[in-house]
Structure 1
């Protein structure tokens, strides 16, 4: 969440946010290619070039509108990576791994930013720009990780849940997808997702990352 829209704040958040979105989407395409579907690769979406993943509305227009209206939270999305699930070697199971790849990439990035943050502290580097960027890297990636795990399609959590459910229930869940974005937006604006989903899971993943970087602090 961004509450400070100054040029410095935007600069601090821009790099980790661009990496978080880009690597998240590229990870989906990479996992799909490894599991049998090269659709995203052929279309040039397995790349770290942010321009390939930018959605004019979700990545630029919507966040800009929220900033200009003084919204207390920032929301946006990238261009979804195309995946032909019928081309996967084991569609039912492999679709789960493809969906997990994006949030998994965000967790790894959050861990890397946390390590950078710790190393800056250990080296006694007091430059607030870099330390705040490392903190933003952790928070943006945790936010994207948790938000995308919400179990409503077309979010990754919905794909994962569909892969875990029996066929009949999976098909029923899939019928929600055309309205999934509007459902999620409504829940986000009313604060339901934040209170019942985002905050509890964010605390859990922050605790997990803290547990993983603690040995580094003990080492030094």
Structure 2
């Protein structure tokens, strides 16, 4: 991909926003539920620099996947550890999904009132797409993604030891799936993520206009 600023800038804005809001709401929810760990480490902030992982950002740019700096969570502070871990884990993807909806509404309102310039359209489109991709990707129930914590919170207790054993290998499974898409051209993740991303992006950008 060439270094085209007109495409890089909207992408960079979307990545910074999506990662920041995702990690912020993990930290905010944990703090509300009694865990001050993230707040005490300076993560309860909307400053993107507090949430960026340099390697994760580079991977976003060059390998089309990446990550933010994980928010530290100590379940020992929670009154209801299983329930509260689910809520903290779900907060990140939910914040991205709601953000995509809000940016879609902004696009539709501007479209109806004043029209949308090509530059602003590209920024809003990237904000919608990246937030949806991050939300859907993190809902995959493979550790260390948020979906694994949500699934763990709903599993019967007798199934937890077996699931935790699977979680030991999940990062390698996830990495293998990603590498298969990038180097072996077997885009398993794309088959999972892209259809719902396109569906919700089209829905959020058109339901008022139509």
Instruction: Report the CA distance shift for 1:198/1:5 in structure 2 as closer, same or farther (over 3 A).
Output: farther
Q: Distance in 2 between matches of 1:48 and 1:154?
A: 23
Which sits farther off after the overlay, 88-97 or 172-181? 172-181
How many residues were matched structurally?
204
Instruction: Check whether the contact 2:107–2:116 (CA below 8 A) recurs between aligned residues.
Output: no
Corresponding residue of 1:117: 107
Other structure's SS at 1:175 match = helix
| Alignment deviations for residues 78-106 of structure 1 (CA, whole Å, 9 cap, x no partner) | 11000011221101111111111000100
How far apart in 1 are the matches of 2:50 and 2:202? 33
What SS class does the counterpart of residue 140 from structure 2 fall into?
A: coil
| Map of 1:50 onto structure 2 | 48
**Following TM superposition, by how much is the alpha carbon of 1:204 offset from its aligned partner in structure 2, in angstroms?**
4.8
Cα distance change on mapping 1:5 and 1:89 into 2, 3 Å: farther
CA RMSD of aligned residues (A): 2.0
1:203–1:111: structure 2 CA closer, same or farther, 3 Å change rule? same
Cα 1:78/1:104, change in 2 over 3 Å = same
Within the candidate set 202, 205, 214, 2:200 is matched to 205
- Distance in 2, matches of 1:178 and 1:55, equals 23
TM-score after normalising by structure 1: 0.84
Deviation track 1:128-176 (CA, whole Å, cap 9, x = no partner) reads 1101111111100110010000011110001100111012322322234
2:21 is aligned to 23
Gaps of 5+ in 2: none
Contact 1:120 1:131 (C-alpha < 8 Å) held by counterparts: no
Q: Which runs of 5+ in 1 are unaligned?
A: 67-73
Distance 2:71 2:115 in 1: 38
Q: Secondary structure at the match of 1:105?
A: helix
User: CA separation in 1, counterparts of 2:167 and 2:130?
Assistant: 25
